[in-house]
Amino acid sequence: MNRSACLIFNPVAGQGDPEQDLLQIRAILEPAIDLDIYFTSQEVGADELARAALDRGVDAIIASGGDGTLSVAATAVVGTNIPFGVISRGTANAFAAALAIPDTIEAACNVILQGATRTIDVAYCNGKPMVLLAGIGFEAETVELADREAKRRFGIMAYVLAGVQQLRNLQSFDVEIETEDKIIKTSASAVTVANAAPPTSVLAQGPAGILYNDGLLDLTIVAPANKAGAIAATFHLFQTASTGNAAERDDIGYLRAKQFKIKADPPQKVVLDGEMVGTTPVEIKCIPEGLTIFVPSVAEVEPVEKLEGLPNLIIEMKELAEEAENQIQE
Ligand SMILES: Nc1ncnc2c1ncn2[C@@H]1O[C@H](COP(=O)(O)OP(=O)(O)OP(=O)(O)O)[C@@H](O)[C@H]1O
């Protein structure tokens, strides 16, 4: 008997052709999995659809859409032991990148077909489930500026443009951070608490690596003195993220803890897994092994060759050419 799964599909996500995307997903998954397909709408979100599916009883929940859809669907699955599948079709695809899930439809579907799962940590931020990260200050302002229209026109550049725009009116705030064993007071422009984060979430990249199965959250404080400092700090974090090193600048701090209570003066906007959720204060607590997700059974292999796109490119396969020549001679 086939496995069954509820597929929650956002028909307006990303810049692709949703009808084509859905056909492709069905063509790959349906031979092995009985899919019960539900579409998100402006009124009915992926979380509501996921909760209804859990009530009906399903073997798995699969969400397909941008980061917004994936995050809210995941929040409904937290704490249930029902495996969660991710088919990313958004602009930034941060959710898939943070959890090392491939972001093409074909590869993501194959991960679900293979059926390997693992449990990962999640967190609760003011009672709301969080899979990736909470951004306080700068990031929250940036997310608010990158609206759907801008994302449609500029893709991932919308976030970069919004970030640059935001740098122009960089503001610093006083922050008090309380962990299990200490209270830290400083000023900052951005405070980010990450459970898991893609390398593109530069403001989360203070520590050398963000582990999503260590029972701990990673907090990064970015406190540049001025605009030039902000650009230098961002660039440094971008570099450390790509090399896997920890940040080494005086205006960047980081620490790990099971939970954080954060107050800001003046109160700052908070973005949780890409969605605006209100303002500080926040209380964020790690929930070890709170979510079961489908993951690649073997690590993705980086391609060792890329030639396509080169001008006047001709590739001759030697053995095939020789074989053809031999056949002609025979
Ligand atoms: N059928 C629909 N019509 C209009 N809006 C929808 C519909 N379904 C979901 N939405 C809205 O889509 C948003 C989530 O979009 P999602 O994050 O999945 O895609 P995206 O914005 O294209 O991707 P990304 O977040 O990666 O930029 C939610 O705000 C939700 O209200």
Q: What is the pLDDT of residues 309-322, one digit of tens each?
A: 787 888 888 776 66
* Domain chopping of the chain, boundaries: 3-115, 129-288
**Nearest alpha carbon, ligand 1 atom 16:** 66
Distance CA 134, CA 140 (A): 9
- 181 CA distance to ligand 1 middle (Å): 40
Angle (CA) 123 128 130, round 5°: 35
Burial (CB count <10 Å: 0-12, 13-18, 19+), residue 243:
exposed
pLDDT of residue 327: 67
Distance CA 26, CA 33 (A): 9
Residue 94: name the closest of 156, 164, 10 by CA.
156
- 145 CA distance to ligand 1 middle (Å): 16
Q: Tell me the pLDDT band of 202, cut-offs 50, 70 and 90.
A: confident
Question: Residues of the chain with pLDDT > 70: what percent?
Answer: 85
The arrangement of strands across the sheet holding 217-222 comes to 252-257, 217-222, 190-194, 133-137, 269-272, 275-279
- To test the ligand 1 pocket, which listed residue (8, 22, 40, 70) has its Cβ within 8 A of the most ligand atoms? 40
Contact 256, 217 (CB under 8 A): yes
Which class does domain 129-288 fall in?
Answer: mainly beta
Q: Which atom of ligand 1 is nearest to the CA of 69?
A: 18
Where is pLDDT greater, at 24 or 238? Answer: 24
Q: Which atom of ligand 1 is nearest to the CA of 11?
A: 1
For the segment 100-108, the average pLDDT, to the nearest whole number, is 94
Topology annotation, domain 3-115: Rossmann fold (3.40.50)
- 115 CA distance to ligand 1 middle (Å): 27
- 69 CA distance to ligand 1 middle (Å): 6
Give 194-221 as a DSSP string: ESS--TT-GGG--SS---TTSS-EEEEE
- The neighbour count for residue 246, using CB atoms within 10 Å, is 12
Q: Which of 167-171, 299-303, 310-314 has the lowest mean pLDDT?
A: 299-303
- 169 CA distance to ligand 1 middle (Å): 28
Q: Which two tokens stand for residue 150?
A: 């801008």
Residues near 289 by beta carbon (within 8 Å), at least 6 away in sequence: 119, 120, 121, 213
Burial (CB count <10 Å: 0-12, 13-18, 19+), residue 290:
buried
Q: For residue 224, how far is the Cα from the chain centroid?
A: 25
**Nearest alpha carbon, ligand 1 atom 13:** 68
| pLDDT over threshold 90, residue 88 | yes
Q: Which atom of ligand 1 is nearest to the CA of 68?
A: 17
Q: Which of 55-59, 119-123, 201-205, 300-304 has the lowest mean pLDDT?
A: 300-304
Q: Which atom of ligand 1 is nearest to the CA of 88?
A: 26
Contact 274, 94 (CB under 8 A): yes
**Nearest alpha carbon, ligand 1 atom 18:** 66
- 123 CA distance to ligand 1 middle (Å): 23
Distance CA 7, CA 50 (A): 9
- 9 CA distance to ligand 1 middle (Å): 10
Q: Which atom of ligand 1 is nearest to the CA of 151?
A: 27
For the segment 145-174, the average pLDDT, to the nearest whole number, is 63
- To test the ligand 1 pocket, which listed residue (64, 69, 103, 160) has its Cβ within 8 A of the most ligand atoms? 69
Residues in contact with ligand 1 by the CB-under-6-Å rule are 10-14, 40-42, 65-69, 90-92, 148, 151, 274
- The neighbour count for residue 14, using CB atoms within 10 Å, is 20
CA dihedral 114, 117, 199, 142 (to 10 degrees): 100
| pLDDT over threshold 90, residue 256 | yes
- 10 CA distance to ligand 1 middle (Å): 6
- 14 CA distance to ligand 1 middle (Å): 8
